Structure 1
Amino acid sequence: MNAPFAADARTPAELLRAALGEDPARPLVTFYDDATGERVELSVRTFDNWVAKTSNLLQDELNAGPEDRAALLLPAHWQTAVWLVACWSVGVTAAPGGDPAEAGLVVSGPDGLEAAQACSGERVALALRPLGGRFPQRPDGFLDYAAEVPGQGDRFAPYSPVDPESPALETLVDGLPLRLSGEQTVQLAREGAARIGLERGGRVLSTLPYDDWAGLEAGLLAPLAAGASVVLCRNSDALTDDQWRSRIESERVTLRIG
């Protein structure tokens, strides 16, 4: 039996570091938005670079750290995946779909800006435009992520080591709240990868949102834990069977979920 990928990793950020050390050039996250025709592919190295820049933004510009909580009002998107791993790199608890009024930081896409104003702390807005473009006009009361992140450093080191036993993720399972440490998140991700049959080097296509564990598992965490990769598809309800077959073949998908 083959040894599990990154067996010593105890946080999601450590899973990413293991992938970077093994094969930085392989694809990690491929994203489709079928409403705009956008396709973005990030290698492990490129994804890690975005995570490092976002982590530096979190730590140095937003003064976020362990014991802070970030509400992420974002869809399943490559930039959302970056934000999740950046939170875990800094030690911030990520709460996808969380209540902004109860968070010290909120990160929102265009559809969540009104709700995000309930956060009394730092607010970051993502335009989610093709090629990571900026808002035509920055929303009042928000930092524009696309304007802030390019100037951040390409390397990241937390001010203090991230404790694998500290809170890392707040999500839902079958509609019930679940709070996980980094270590528990990695363990559940490994179990999920085994349950869905995702093997090392595999490629899972997911159309699930990130608003519960099932979507986070299929669309990010199980691929990280298995040494695999993910194809995220958004706004794809109108695709025909032939179009799906073509995408699955061209992307060399080994498993489809959603």
Structure 2
Amino acid sequence: ACSGARVALALRPLGGRFPQPPEGFADYAVEVPGQGDRFVPYAPVDPEEPALIVAGREFTGAEVVERARAEAAERGLTGPGSRILSGLPFDTWEGLHAGLYGPLATGGSVVLCRHLDRLADDALDKRVESERVAVIAR
């Protein structure tokens, strides 16, 4: 048996506590309380302020949105329901666009796949079919 402290987590809505914790266990909701209630007022975002730095280049919020929308069509993301399979890293604009901003700008979705370059052609075809992907970014 476990000689250390044992903690149980109730699967109750909103992180509720156990009505009666299991014998020999500490109740996670009691021992590790959630964040306190704090009101943080909404602070509008200035679209001309820096919002992203990637690969040494700084983009404003407006630039991120404009580029995401403009380049989505070039990449083949045509609108809601468009689905892209991306194996690109997130350390370049191209990777961030394929894996996040492009699908977000069009209402599409993304399937992320590490080491896409190592996937055999038949395995890639199966992945494209099973994930219902229309565009591949690699």
Residue 191 (str. 1) matches residue 97 (str. 2): no
Deviation at 1:198, TM superposition (A): 0.9
Deviation at 1:227, TM superposition (A): 1.1
Aligned equivalent of 1:251, options 92, 106, 131:
131
In structure 1, distance between residues paired with 2:104 and 2:40: 20
CA deviations 1:32-56 (Å, max 9, x no partner) are xxxxxxxxxxxxxxxxxxxxxxxxx
Q: How does 1:44-63 map to 2 (within 5 A)?
A: none
List runs of 5+ in structure 2 lacking aligned partners. Answer: 1-33
Bigger radius of gyration among the two: 2
In structure 2, distance between residues paired with 1:217 and 1:158: 30
Deviation at 1:208, TM superposition (A): 0.4
Give % identity.
54
Structure with more strand by fraction: 1
Compared with structure 1, are the counterparts of its residues 181 and 195 closer, same or farther at alpha carbon in structure 2 (3 Å cutoff)? same
Residue 208 (str. 1) matches residue 91 (str. 2): no
CA deviations 1:86-106 (Å, max 9, x no partner) are xxxxxxxxxxxxxxxxxxxxx
TM-score (norm 1): 0.37
Deviation at 1:237, TM superposition (A): 3.8
Deviation at 1:184, TM superposition (A): 1.0
Residue 161 (str. 1) matches residue 44 (str. 2): yes
Compared with structure 1, are the counterparts of its residues 236 and 257 closer, same or farther at alpha carbon in structure 2 (3 Å cutoff)? closer
In structure 1, distance between residues paired with 2:96 and 2:127: 21
Q: Please tell me the residue identity of whatever aligns with 1:183.
A: A
Name which structure has the greater RCO, CA cutoff 8 Å, separation 6+: 1
List runs of 5+ in structure 1 lacking aligned partners. Answer: 1-150
Q: How does 1:1-258 map to 2 (within 5 A)?
A: 151=34, 159-172=42-55, 177-200=56-79, 201-258=81-138
TM-score (norm 2): 0.66
Deviation at 1:238, TM superposition (A): 3.1
Compared with structure 1, are the counterparts of its residues 157 and 227 closer, same or farther at alpha carbon in structure 2 (3 Å cutoff)? farther
